[in-house]
Amino acid sequence: MSLLDKFKKTKKGNDTFESSIDNDFVDNKVVLTAEQKKKADPKYRILEIYEEEKEKAEEFKRIHAQTKKKKNWVQRLSDYLKLISFKNLNSRIEAYGFSYSFSRYISNIIILIAAVIASSFLFKLETSYIPFLILFGICMLPIIILAQIQFMNNSFKFEQINTYLQEMIIAFKTRPKILFSLFEVKDMFETGVEDQITDAIEYIQHADIGDNGTNTYEHGLKIIEDKYHCSRIKSLHNLMLTCEKENSKNYDGAINDLYDDIQAWKSRVYDYQITLNNTRTQFNIVLLLTIGVSSVMINILPDTLTDFVSSGVYQVSTCIMLCIFLGMFCFVQTKLTGHWLVDDMDGDDYNILKDVYYVETYDEEKARKKSFMNAAIASAVPLFGYFIFHSNTMTFIGILIMLYFLTKERLTYKSKKKAVENEIRKQFPAWLRDISLNVYNLVVTRAIRQSVDTCPLVLKYYIEKLVQETEEDPVTIRPYNNFLQEYYITDITSSMKSLYVIKSQNSNEGARLISDLIQRNQEMMANAEKIRNENQLSAFNMLGTIPMVIGALKMMVDMGLMMLHFMDKVGNINLN
């Protein structure tokens, strides 16, 4: 039974109906009066959106599974090992549109072997361990090479996207027709996006008769959007579609504002690419310094104190440490390819709606009662520990359990609300950008209503509420003030007030206010992208401490071995 079916389940002979949601979604029952209409009921609508998006995601997985069968770990390992062959590796590289010579591959292997031998010499590894390290490094090498190619490919895609956006804007300003703009831009590319532009043109020119021309342009442009998941491409296409459908002449201001936004985004992406390179370089330096520091002791001390290097424990621990460092180097290379800088449209995770549901249905009074009840039950543990078992440990653990149950509901609510708030902060600026561009050609309320089907999932329920409230109260500012007010995000509150003012002004004053709104929104976009990129890079900043921890542990093992060997020598001297 789906969550929505459970929600619809009614009590017999009662005017109320009750929802029993799975524990992983929400663990408390919700009683609602029959007078609450389903469309006006926030709980019902959130679940309805959740079920719709879940069904879409599952359908996508089924279609994807038909074209690409999921491989088990044996098949994946087999495919990976095949990449050690230069022929197979080169075919993967050529699929990205790049070439990679065999001499370059051999030179990388030679560099790898030299690095392994140098590290083995520093740590005085026995020669029997060196072939294993070389083999392990050669297995990692194809992954490192592919990661470098992916980084180059993402940089190439960014240049393609940037050129496409700028040239399409110039062509559309010359003549506001989608097909004309596509023809003008197509000849500027020889590879990459040129194939998608050609397919889009052919689709628009030879669309099925059943389409009646209403969605021809939209479906044609979607061919490009599906290949390049860039929010600004989608924004440009939406603006062009609006102008084409409305036969609008007021597009100059919107086009200019979008062009300014693209230029600001271009500058930020260049900065983040530099940050990626710096992060990668810093990690490599940490690895080298850790290797150097870890090997200092056995190289500066006299041989009489470092004879433990011949022991199996030292040799194996050193070999393991170097393998871990090789694996970490490979991992960092594969993750810092910068794909999120180009594909900046994260697939909406419908599971965020679970958090939205929890936040919207949270009842503080019920949560407090539940916390006290659970804590009262858990109080048996410290009571038994203190009065019956006379165990301080059990008493202390019991008190911790009580505190956990006392704070669990409130902390869960804060955690889920913070997750929703962060997602809103990331997604709202992109939605507002599309609204701001469309209000040059549409009234504010129509632009908002038109965005319901394409808005981010985390905002969909709140935007539907806004549309409903503006229909009930089309005059006052109340619907705009109520939008996301429970999250107290000042930038959003200010932006919604600006939309209301734009709705109430004449065209000339409205155009100036729209430009001001877009400029303010660019700052929000920059902050949202900063959060997004920091989330991607924060894990790698923490990862940089791991080599130092491993190096410190290795030095502790070496010092322990040195002390044991030293004490053994002292014992032998005393015996003699």
Cβ within 8 Å of residue 236, ≥6 positions away: 165, 168, 169, 258
What is residue 475's DSSP assignment?
S
Residue 568: what pLDDT? 76
Among 4-8, 218-222, 298-302, where is mean pLDDT lowest?
4-8
What is residue 301's DSSP assignment?
S
How far apart, in whole angstroms, are the C-alpha atoms of residue 317 and residue 329?
18
Residue 31: what pLDDT? 43
How far apart, in whole angstroms, are the C-alpha atoms of residue 568 and residue 576?
13
Cβ within 8 Å of residue 116, ≥6 positions away: 130, 133, 134, 137, 322
Residue 62: what pLDDT? 63
- Portion of the chain with pLDDT greater than 90, in percent: 14
How far apart, in whole angstroms, are the C-alpha atoms of residue 84 and residue 82?
5
Nearest residue to 351 via CA among 269, 437, 457, 471:
457
How far apart, in whole angstroms, are the C-alpha atoms of residue 483 and residue 462?
7
Environment class of 475 (CB within 10 Å of its CB; exposed 0-12, middle 13-18, buried 19+) = exposed
pTM over cut 0.85: no
Question: Residue 517 corresponds to which tokens in the numbers above?
Answer: 């709104």
pLDDT band at 27 (very low <50, low <70, confident <90, very high): very low
Q: Are 162 and 154 in contact (CB under 8 A)?
A: no
Alpha helical stretches, state H, 439-544: 444-450, 457-472, 478-482, 490-504, 507-543
How far apart, in whole angstroms, are the C-alpha atoms of residue 226 and residue 196?
9
Among 209-218, 238-247, 290-299, where is mean pLDDT lowest?
209-218
Q: Which of helix, strand or coil describes residue 102? A: helix
Among 78-82, 255-259, 505-509, where is mean pLDDT lowest?
505-509
How many CB atoms lie under 10 A from the CB of residue 53? 18
pLDDT over threshold 50, residue 21: no
Angle in degrees, CA 427, 430, 436, rounded to 5: 135
Report, as an integer, the average pLDDT of 429-443. 82
The dihedral over CA atoms of 535, 538, 539, 540, expressed in degrees to the nearest 10, equals 130
Cβ within 8 Å of residue 181, ≥6 positions away: 168, 171, 172, 175, 240
Q: Which of helix, strand or coil describes residue 33? A: strand
pLDDT over threshold 90, residue 189: no
Residue 67: what pLDDT? 44
pLDDT band at 22 (very low <50, low <70, confident <90, very high): very low
- Portion of the chain with pLDDT greater than 70, in percent: 82
How far apart, in whole angstroms, are the C-alpha atoms of residue 31 and residue 34?
10
How far apart, in whole angstroms, are the C-alpha atoms of residue 404 and residue 478?
40
What is residue 10's DSSP assignment?
B
Query: Which pLDDT tens digit goes with each residue over 99-125?
Result: 888 899 999 999 999 999 999 999 989
Residue 5: what pLDDT? 55
Environment class of 296 (CB within 10 Å of its CB; exposed 0-12, middle 13-18, buried 19+) = exposed
Q: Are 273 and 155 in contact (CB under 8 A)?
A: yes
pLDDT band at 85 (very low <50, low <70, confident <90, very high): confident
pLDDT band at 35 (very low <50, low <70, confident <90, very high): very low
Mean pLDDT over the full length of the chain = 80
Report, as an integer, the average pLDDT of 348-353. 72
Q: Are 455 and 464 in contact (CB under 8 A)?
A: no
Query: Which pLDDT tens digit goes with each residue over 494-524?
Result: 888 888 888 877 656 666 777 777 777 777 7
Nearest residue to 49 via CA among 362, 455, 421, 483:
455
pLDDT over threshold 80, residue 213: no
Q: Are 116 and 323 in contact (CB under 8 A)?
A: no
What residue type is 320 in one-letter code? I
Report, as an integer, the average pLDDT of 239-266. 80
Residue predicted with more confidence, 14 or 192: 192
Q: Which residues of 171-194 are buried (b: 16+ CB within 10 A; e: fewer)?
A: bbeeebbbbebbebbbeebeebbb
Residue 20: what pLDDT? 38
What residue type is 203 in one-letter code? Y
Residue 117: what pLDDT? 92
Residue 494: what pLDDT? 87
What residue type is 62 in one-letter code? R
Query: Which pLDDT tens digit goes with each residue over 131-188?
Result: 999 999 998 899 889 888 888 888 888 888 888 998 899 888 888 888 889 988 888 8
Report, as an integer, the average pLDDT of 344-354. 68
What is residue 439's DSSP assignment?
T
How far apart, in whole angstroms, are the C-alpha atoms of residue 266 and residue 31?
51
Q: Are 356 and 460 in contact (CB under 8 A)?
A: no
Query: Which pLDDT tens digit goes with each residue over 439-482?
Result: 877 788 888 998 888 888 888 889 988 998 999 888 889 999 99
Which single residue is written with the structure tokens 């409205």? 510
Which single residue is written with the structure tokens 């591959």? 105
How far apart, in whole angstroms, are the C-alpha atoms of residue 563 and residue 446?
79
